[in-house]
Amino acid sequence: MSATDNKSNLITFTEAYSRALHDAMEMDASVIMLGEDIADEEGGGVFKVTKGLSTKFGKGRVRTTPISEQAIVGAAVGAALVGMRPVAEIMLMNFITVPMDQIVNHAAKLRFMSGGQTHVPLTIRTRTGAGQGTAGQHSDMLEAWFAHVAGMKVVIPSSPADAYGLMLGCIFDDDPCLFIEDAVTRTQTGPAPEKGVKIPLGKAHVVKPGKDVSVIGYGRALRDSLTIAEKLEGEGISVEIVDLRTV
């Protein structure tokens, strides 16, 4: 394969998120989206992940909402309970503190409180990440909070291919998932995924085998770990890298 072919097979994280949403909506008419400014009339989302989706699938399935995180998640929980597979976008992770009641006390618990008679196939997308000068209310990593919530699945991809596959895994899972997109890695590239292939949730992935030491991580930190592992290999230290994928 030529260098040109290799380059053409690369996509960014943002492109991977967008492809996953597009393909999910194409595969299943019950997949809908809710969030601030996500329709094309409003620019296709602040980060352009949803650009083109409302034009193709209609504003009935890609719904721009008021600036109310409680309303976004509350409506999405209700939609999930009646058979839809909603994807709710909370623009930035710090804003996810606003609908905590809807997430923790409703979405995460309804399957258990109903004795398994109902499911909440809800995906909440949000973005965060320090290192861009976005200040204190736009860059917190709060995944540890939600990892302690019974009934919630927390997903953070470390490559564009994983971003695509894990997004599909979340959307077609019958339990609520929090899908975290790292703002810093949004333009980084990696090999394109195979269309329609979901990555199962709750299973780690050995990115690099090694025999001397194991490094376990996720998201941006995992990419940094791979760089360090390459340097250590030059010193004769074999490093295994394990990607949790699901926190």
Its pTM stands at: 0.93
pLDDT classification of 4: cutoffs 50, 70, 90:
very low
> For the residues 109-130, what does the mean pLDDT come to?
93
CA–CA distance, 104 with 93 (Å, rounded to integer)? 15
pLDDT of residue 136: 74
Which secondary-structure segment (H or E) carries 178?
Answer: strand 177-182
Catalytic residue numbers read 138
CA–CA distance, 98 with 95 (Å, rounded to integer)? 6
pLDDT of residue 49: 96
* Spatial contact of 82 and 118, defined as CB atoms under 8 Å apart: no
Tokens 């503190």 -> residue: 97
